[in-house]
Each structure stands twice: as structure tokens, then as C-alpha cells.
Amino acid sequence: MARVAGKVALITGGASGLGLATAKLMAAEGARIVITDIQKNKGPGAAKEIGGDTLFLEHDVTSEERWQQVVVETEKKFGKLNIVVNSAGIGTEGTIEDTSLADFRKMMAINVEGTFLGCKYGIEAMKKHSEPSSIVNISSVAGLVSGFQMCAYSASKGAVRLLSKSVALHCARAGYNIRCNSVHPAFISTPMVEAPLAAASDPEKARKRLLRMVPIGKIGEPNDIGYMILYLASEESKFVTGAEMVVDGGCTAM
């Protein structure tokens, strides 16, 4: 039996990186998929790669109105919603002294408000049926520990971690058949990690420096996170809610 057979999944940031890898795994395991992303040029190609009748919707996760429309369009196409993966995000570096208020607000709007809206409108749709449902929010190891240059990013990912627990507790208390968990990756080979490495003055040196921070000695693959998300989205994790799942090659064990 496929692991997410019969479920409908909405995955933000689905045109790239972890969102795209997760969408492919879920499609292979029987889910019908809606990917959304602000990158409208990449979306249709990504949907084709995922296959089946995957739907791509252009979506800026900071827009409440668009979130409402995206959920309605998902229900219109597939009849229901069981899984929301909030993967859309940005990651820029900066200390408290060199992060402007505008930069900080932008980070919070995409990483935190986007996830908040995904939970809010996801629950609204999931409540309409009694089937088991799951929200997976992509935080980061930066939501557990920080770094001097991770002011806004860490603040946003820490917020996603505790937002997820509050959502989990609310759904459990309300008796909804909806779970919510956060995933905390580190150093996975996606454009978010590869682009800054490629742009470094000495990319090889930058990669070696990064690898020194990973006990397992390599950069992770998108599927390393995708399989965790798939587990959380499936009924294999039916007793897991409000949990923070770390997938980081050992980084935070140090």
C-alpha cells in the first residue's frame, strides 16, 4: 500500500529544492499534489517533473487572500486537502547590527507569516472532513541554535518551531484529526545552500569550511528531508504531533 495513497497534498515552495523533492516522493507514494511557488517560470516544469495530474499555482505565501484562493483551487481540483507542507522560505545572513528592519520584516513575512497562513487555511479545509490530516512546517537547525550572522533567519525559524507546537496542541484539544510537526534540516543541497557556495570568492574553500560543521562529513540530499516529511505526512506517524524532527547530519549533536 502506497504510504500516502488517496491523500491530497499542498506543498509551498514546490518549484525548487526540498518542496520539489517532497512532492516527487509523495506523488510516487500515491498522493495527488498541488505545488505552489512565487517562481511562476519554474512551476509548470516542476509540475510536469512530478507527473500525474499535479497542479501548479502561482502563490506568494505572504498574501492571505492568495492563500484562501489556493486552498479553494486545491479543493476544486481534488475535492479535499489532507497535507500541507510549508516549505517556501528565504535564507539570508546578517548580524543584528547589519540587518535592517525592512530585511527582518521580509524574513518574518515569508518564513513566519507564510507558515502561519498555511496552518490557518490548511486547518480550515482539513476540518471539513474527518480523514487524518497533517501539517509539516519546515523550520531549520537555525530554529534550535543560532549563529552571530543568523539574526533574522534564526528568529523566523525559532518562531516556526513554536508556532507548530501551538497548532499541534490546538488541533489535539479541539479533537481535530490534524497533526502538526516541524522539521529542522541543515545543509541540504538545494539552491538555498548551493547558490551562496557558488558565489563565494573561493567556492571549494567555502564548501570545505561548511563540511567541517557536519559530523557526517557531507552535504545532505533533498530526499533526506523529503523522507522525513513523507513520514510525518503519512499515518506511520499517527502518534507524532508537536514534535521537532532534526535531520542535520549530526550538526546539533555537537
In three-state secondary structure terms, 22 is: helix
Q: Which is nearer to ligand NAD, 56 or 187 (CB)?
A: 187
> Minimal distance in Å, beta carbon 156 to ligand NAD?
8
- Yes or no: say if 55 and 34 are a contact pair by the CB < 8 Å rule: yes
* Residue 153 appears among annotated catalytic residues: yes
Site residues for ligand NAD per CB under 6 A: 12-13, 15-19, 37-39, 59-62, 87-91, 110, 138, 140, 185-188, 190-193
CB 34 within 8 A of CB 10: yes
CB of 15 to ligand NAD, least distance (A): 5
Exposed (0-12), middle (13-18) or buried (19+): which is 74, by Cβ within 10 Å? buried
Task: Give me the sign of the Cα torsion angle 143, 114, 238, 3.
Answer: negative
Minimum distance, C-beta of residue 215 to ligand NAD, in the bound complex (Å)? 15
Report which residue type is found at 122. Answer: G
What's CA 84's distance to the chain center, in Å? Answer: 9
- Output the smallest distance, CB 109 to ligand NAD, in A: 8
> 93: buried, middle or exposed (CB in 10 Å: 19+, 13-18, 0-12)?
middle
Q: Choose between 71 and 186: whose C-beta lies nearer to ligand NAD.
A: 186
Which of 121, 153, 176, 227 is catalytic? The answer is 153
- In the bound state with ligand NAD, the residue whose beta carbon lies nearer, of 1 and 254, is 254
Handedness of CA 24, 25, 28, 31 (dihedral sign): negative
Which of 69/177 has CB closer to ligand NAD? 69
Cell 497562513 identifies what position? 117
> Given the complex with ligand NAD, which of 175 and 217 has the nearer CB atom?
217
Smallest gap, in angstroms, from Cβ of residue 42 to ligand NAD?
7
CB 16 within 8 A of CB 46: yes
Residues marked active site are found at 153
